[in-house]
Amino acid sequence: MNSRDKAIIENLKKFRVLNRDQLIKLHFIRNSTPHVVANRVLKRLVDSRLIEVDKTNRPYNYFPSPRSIKKDSTKIPHFRAIADFYITLCAYEIPSQFEVEFKPLAKGGIEPDVFMKWKGFAFCVEVQRSIYSKKQMQNKHKLYMEYKDSGKWQHHSKRFPAIWILTDKYYDVDFQPLNAVQTKDVDGIFKYFNS
């Protein structure tokens, strides 16, 4: 198994699921024929039982072996959205740390979709694919305040992480005194870097 094979398996473990096009962007984009090379490598990894494939969708979805989620899980679009977010970030700068489904506290505490360090800043990222009620967003604020008050964030970052909510809908919720931003995409964060 070569280093690219290992990197593919590690990314499948990290993101739980990736489709072929995402794997191409992460591992094959520099090849002269990325689709051909990706198909050949992924077939070899499936045949070797190092990864698993679901052929019911196109492009196919790939999973680590053994899978950590079901092939028909309703969370697949969510995990793929997190992977798309990561791929977009990498176009600007590769995060020095990127942890999916970060769980810094006991069950019932805050569970951001991602904890990452990017461009010298720590972020807790919420990839919102669903519409949340104002009450649900206020509860998220409460959980983040509990995380801040616990001091456990200091194990992961020198400063309390900024909260980055990726959403198509703007939420009118005051996250003060926490540093929280809402953007529709990665490009939206740059206005906060410049302010």
Q: What would the pLDDT profile of 56-98 be if each residue is shown by its tens digit?
A: 999 999 999 999 999 999 999 999 999 999 999 999 999 999 9
Domains of the chain: 3-73 (1.10.10.10), 77-193 (3.40.1350)
**Whole-prediction pTM:** 0.91
- Asked if the peptide bond before residue 59 counts as cis, ω within 30 degrees of 0, the response is yes
Q: Cα(97)–Cα(104) distance, rounded to whole angstroms?
A: 15
Tens of pLDDT along the chain (195 residues) come to: 899 999 999 999 999 999 999 999 999 999 999 999 999 999 999 999 999 999 999 999 999 999 999 999 999 999 999 999 999 999 999 999 999 999 888 787 889 999 999 999 999 999 987 888 889 989 999 999 999 999 999 999 999 999 999 998 888 888 889 999 999 999 989 887 665
Closest by Cα among 162, 179, 76, 171 to 121: 162
- List the alpha helices (DSSP H) in the chain: 3-15, 20-23, 34-47, 76-92, 134-150, 190-193
Mind spelling out the 3-state secondary structure of 54-100? Answer: ECCCCCCEEEECCCCCCCCCCCHHHHHHHHHHHHHHHHHCCCCEEEE
Q: Give the number of other Cβ atoms within 10 Å of residue 153's Cβ.
A: 21
List of residues 6+ apart from 195 with CB closer than 8 A = none
| Distance (Å) of CA 188 to CA 15, 83, 164, 165 | 23, 18, 10, 11
Written as six digits, the tokens of 18 are 């990736």
